[in-house]
Structure 1
């Protein structure tokens, strides 16, 4: 494997943590004998273009420095290629890093693991999800109540930050209604289910540690699909805090299905994968086993 590797940097990630983290990470990797090239894109499209150019040019590894948004861009470039992925997680959520037991907000520790893995096992194989005709995703594809909160927050011009999300959440709670879904798992029959949300998990968490698909594994070739049934506002407010511990999975309104291919259809519902907008349902999510090698994963 070539010693030339590429750091893919989001300077805005975590209020500037991405740019600051690139320096100590690069220093550790250079000390381990690697030639490090840093790539900073002007916008998401430019970042993705540069990442794909690096992979096509034979870089020994693509290292995403930032949060889950930067990891998502990197995945589009390395998925189903021989190029391994490293993650220096310094964003807000960091769910992909957490799912793989990688350091969070410790760029030197992350870089040491990456360097050791490049010298040793070359990374551990991990599954990815893929939206048919669309992007790969590493953690969770979300639809329903949570995606409607995202939609509303994205439409709002003020306030900013966490307060915008909280106001969008309150507005969607006030408008809460069951969503009629049509779901199909693998080649099974179509199921018509009234639900609050449906989450398709390759990894276990989204939103910075909400364990919506808490038992999902990234190396078993199957999605865990969490279906939260029709809930009133009071019941949803009681159930939702349990998501951070994963104990919501035992609630009678929650069901979990396992499948390698999931078809979702519902009117006026948008899907988000790895926190990024994918588009309106209907869509099909397909498992791609072993689609990426992730550097630094302990235990392979």
Structure 2
């Protein structure tokens, strides 16, 4: 291991905040005595490949400068390697950073915290979810929420979060409960009609929606939140409670805890860390201490 820290940068995150955030973060790291190497790519595949190549120098840590998409990309390279990962969260949602209690849209504070963690208590070993060869840190979404993602991704305008607000309204208009099959660990398959199933390693997605508010990153288990069959009007009424996590007390909501989860439903795409994983069925497993994070 060297005194080098890699800045893994998405220059387009948060409408250009990623590029702007790299400079103050780099300055903090250099002032602390670290050599800084910046890694970015022409696209996600290129960036991930460049990061894997850079890990050959055995850096002291990698700091991902961007949003949840870049953090997820970094996880693909760093999971089970032992190299610590820090986040300089300047994207739109920043849910992984929120779950970890890290600064959001404050690159200097994020870099200072990373330095303090490296030179003090050290990185925290935390769990990750895994689907096939894909790793995720926050929530695997399936159902109403993933259909909102599908629709939002198809929309060119408007830009930013407002696009997904419109996608929510459009999906509400077409809303119907979905027939799910759910298998938890080695238990029997559950057949149920539900609005959505969320498999939480972390607590939130969608820029602060605390769908899996009780999830912990260090217990070796997922929180599997099932929102059952509800009317369109009831969904509209309950939805704002998700921002505080108080929806979990609603009678249509059940929470299971499991190490492995298989989710099956027709015509549903699974999303994790905001990125599409593919059509259901999907099986996720919780891998204890799969990543070392620079977090309090």
Counterpart-to-counterpart distance in 2, 1:80 and 1:161: 33
Structure 2 match to 1:281: 280
Structure 2 match to 1:174: 173
Q: Which whole-Å deviations, capped at 9, do the CAs of 1:208-248 have from their partners, x for residues lacking one?
A: 11100001000000000010001111000011110001000
**2:14 matched to 1:14?**
yes
Deviation at residue 160 of structure 1 after TM alignment: 3.5
Counterpart-to-counterpart distance in 1, 2:6 and 2:244: 36
Deviation at residue 156 of structure 1 after TM alignment: 2.9
> In the alignment, is the contact (CA less than 8 A) between 1:127 and 1:290 conserved in 2?
yes
Go from structure 1 to structure 2 and tell me whether the alpha carbon gap of 1:159 and 1:104 turns closer, same or farther (over 3 Å shift). closer
Show the 5 A alignment for 1:141-160.
Answer: 141-160=140-159
Q: Which whole-Å deviations, capped at 9, do the CAs of 1:148-183 have from their partners, x for residues lacking one?
A: 111122223444434432332222111111111000
Show the 5 A alignment for 1:199-238.
Answer: 199-238=198-237
Counterpart-to-counterpart distance in 2, 1:88 and 1:269: 32
> In the alignment, is the contact (CA less than 8 A) between 1:51 and 1:62 conserved in 2?
no
Deviation at residue 118 of structure 1 after TM alignment: 1.7
Counterpart-to-counterpart distance in 2, 1:158 and 1:60: 41
Counterpart-to-counterpart distance in 2, 1:251 and 1:174: 22
Deviation at residue 11 of structure 1 after TM alignment: 0.6
Go from structure 1 to structure 2 and tell me whether the alpha carbon gap of 1:87 and 1:176 turns closer, same or farther (over 3 Å shift). same
Counterpart-to-counterpart distance in 2, 1:48 and 1:187: 35
Counterpart-to-counterpart distance in 1, 2:203 and 2:162: 26
> In the alignment, is the contact (CA less than 8 A) between 2:178 and 2:195 conserved in 1?
yes
Q: TM-score, normalised by structure 1?
A: 0.96
Deviation at residue 257 of structure 1 after TM alignment: 0.3
Counterpart-to-counterpart distance in 1, 2:169 and 2:112: 43
Q: What is the count of residue pairs matched by the alignment? A: 296
Structure 2 match to 1:23: 23
Structure 2 match to 1:249: 248
Structure 2 match to 1:39: 39
SS in 1 for 2:180: strand
> In the alignment, is the contact (CA less than 8 A) between 2:92 and 2:160 conserved in 1?
no
> In the alignment, is the contact (CA less than 8 A) between 1:84 and 1:122 conserved in 2?
no
Counterpart-to-counterpart distance in 2, 1:134 and 1:178: 30
Show the 5 A alignment for 1:51-130.
Answer: 51-130=51-130
SS in 2 for 1:88: strand
Structure 2 match to 1:190: 189
Counterpart-to-counterpart distance in 1, 2:163 and 2:208: 19
Structure 2 unmatched ranges of 5 or more: none
Counterpart-to-counterpart distance in 2, 1:15 and 1:54: 26
Q: TM-score, normalised by structure 2?
A: 0.97
SS in 1 for 2:15: coil
Structure 1 unmatched ranges of 5 or more: none
> In the alignment, is the contact (CA less than 8 A) between 1:122 and 1:293 conserved in 2?
no
Counterpart-to-counterpart distance in 2, 1:160 and 1:116: 36
